[in-house]
Structure 1
Amino acid sequence: MTAATTTRAAIVEAAARLLHEAGPDAVTTRGVAESAGVQAPAIYRLFGDKDGLLEAVAEHVLAGHVASKAAVVRAATDEGVDPVEDLRAGWRAQVEFGLAHPGVFALLSDPGRAPRSAAARAGREVLAARVHRVALAGRLRVGEHRAAELVHAAGTGLVLSLLATLPADRDPALVDTMIEAVLARVVVAGPAADGDGAAAAVALRARAADLGVLTPAEQRLLVEWLDRVVAAG
């Protein structure tokens, strides 16, 4: 590890501590430099400005969280964990992360920052993987993209709402109430074989790329048909 890499890591860790303890306003060049044991010019040389440093901190904190979520999804797949329960657990973990890291969550909820965040994109991919497992199980009644967007939007809105409320005034039941409301809209009670045509179409759509008996053109046509069935449902 080079000296520059070591210095960068020390600065990011120091800034992450300040961000977690006191919010973005506490992440000053002087405060971070003192906490990291470096000279202030090193921050400007490595990150450009405070905004660049904040983005690096947000990426660092979120990347660690996303990596742990991805590991959980892989384990859930290997161990045959119920995909709907895994989606619920992922929802709760994401809400807990947002409440525990309000500074990072606020930064990554900024429409100007989120599209540039590699960690945020990786997080959306983990959510998509969870939703895909539900689809493969024949439990999804809407398209995978729509389901993931609903879960993501509801989760983001819930965390922002809770963060805007004093901790003592927060209703802890909202976390489960919200996810159950979303699941009632996107998940069926039993496998697609129980009679839900849309869920059956979504399940087949999830497997379309694995149907080697079909040519790529036939797979694309099948996907188009299935998307129309799901949209109509």
Structure 2
Amino acid sequence: MTEFLARRTDRLVAGDGGPWAKVAIDGASAAGTGELAEALAEALRARGRSAFVVGTQGFLRPASLRFEYGKQDPDSYFDGWFDTAALWREVFGPLEAGGSGRVLPDLWDPARDRATRSPYQELPENTVVLVHGPLLFGHWFPFDLGVHLRLSPGALQRRTAEDEQWTLPAFRRYEEETDPAGTADVVVRMDHPEHLAWNG
């Protein structure tokens, strides 16, 4: 599956005419978006392509904003945990046609609840930028390729950690309001990791 995605990504021409291809790896934490993004980045590098991975976990909003309605509010998780404005400003904006290619790999450390102060990265042209995390679709992010890691409701519940079970209503809302499987270019069915299936 990684090789299939690498071939698909390798053929990308950035949809906005810019030199950086932007790929979404969307899915719940239980689906392992970060692991797939890193594996795909390695596969692309083996094919001679530069690749850069950005996780949305590094673009959470401060705790005072995330937890305004409590630490386990699924609507807040859906609407307000991720700093989409910062992603636009620090990642997608610099990758527009004519942009600088100077992106920030992360902005906020949720464990310490403070800015990471990570240095900006200058991405060479033809770099594939892989953005991974939950709830990526529905924000008009300019992805050239969207990959959704799909878990059935039962598999999602079984594989979600006990302390994250409260997020499940947010993913049900995501399915109803955003239809990630219908939005993505490629859907990978993750119910049985030893027997992955995909379409797109």
Fold-level similarity (TM above 0.5):
no
> What's the TM-score, normalizing by structure 1?
0.24
> What's the TM-score, normalizing by structure 2?
0.27
Q: Could you say which structure has the higher helix fraction?
A: 1
> Looking at both structures, which has the greater relative contact order when contacts are Cα pairs under 8 Å and sequence separation is at least 6?
2
Q: Which of the pair has more CA radius of gyration? A: 1
